Amino acid sequence: MSDGLVVVDKPAGWSSHDVVARSRRLYGTRKVGHAGTLDPMATGVLVLGVGRGTKLLTFLVGADKAYTATIRLGQATITDDAEGEVTATGEVADIDRSALETAVSRLTGDIQQVPSAVSAIKVKGERSYARVRAGEDVDLPARAVTVSRFDLLDVREADTQGPDGSLAVLDVDVEVEVSSGTYVRALARDLGADLGSHGHLTALRRSRVGGLTLAHSHTLDALTALRDGGAEPVDLPMTPLAEAARAALAHREVTAEQARSLGFGQRIPSAVPGREEPVAAFAPDGALVAVLDESRPTARAHVVFAPASS
């Protein structure tokens, strides 16, 4: 069995679990996991770990992410996206690009965001979405997130009109780059509220997780066609461990002696003491040795990939 990461371009209508289940059959192993879910309506980058690649997933869950999205202003839904029923409507006739740019600027940078109530966040041991579906009113606390980029691409009138023939909804295409834990559908909701109306997400495509992009991705149809054409699991596309770690994480080179020490579970001096992000350590031959914690003067291994050699 090969070890590494597979970046799947997730199709709409599939849950992340569905993609994992299909990939287990394609790659011939139960040892497949993902680095953060995508809602069924969303498409784009879903990072899977295969074999020992699953050990890298922990460090990708917290990576920043990039998306393209379409926000519909003038309607609120129970889920803050197109999957839920419309719960309220608002005016959009007076919303122009200038007002949008001002509102977007207020949602850029370090902000406090209330997650969508229909989310996987646990409330007293139960998923928030389960409580909402059971009829409960769920109020989640705001949390700190970072929206490093929030760009307007296109603003257009949608086909829908109000009963009096007035403009009922406005569709806004955006690109965003956000920290882990940010809900883009909550950005859609909050953009509508900031403009004195309502908003929800009608389309979402993830274009990047950390350093892994759509350029690294494969569609399930393409992978399935390879298997149907006679390819063995080991021959299917996969980003090897070392290449994946270089693309996704901060990294450093270690000496052969340091690589042996890490293999024995020993600490080595930190290259940049105090940095909080995980650091991939590579041996002189390019092999991935470990992922390190360098928050202190001496680095310890979060996980070791290469065994110690004598």
Among all residues, which ones are annotated catalytic? 39
d(CA 226, CA 236): 7
Exposed/middle/buried for residue 103 (C-beta within 10 Å: 0-12, 13-18, 19+): buried
Q: Which contacts qualify for 126-133: CB closer than 8 Å, 24 or more apart?
A: 132/78
What are the tokens at 298? 């001496």
Contact between 169 and 188 (Cβ < 8 Å)? no
- Other CB atoms within 10 Å distance of the CB of residue 108: 16
d(CA 144, CA 98): 27
Contact between 223 and 26 (Cβ < 8 Å)? yes
The length of the chain is 310
Closest CA to 73 of 104, 45, 108, 109: 104
Q: What is the DSSP letter of 162?
A: -
Structure-derived torsion over alpha carbons of residues 309, 234, 38, 138, reported in degrees to the nearest 10: -60
Q: What is the DSSP letter of 81?
A: B
Exposed/middle/buried for residue 193 (C-beta within 10 Å: 0-12, 13-18, 19+): middle
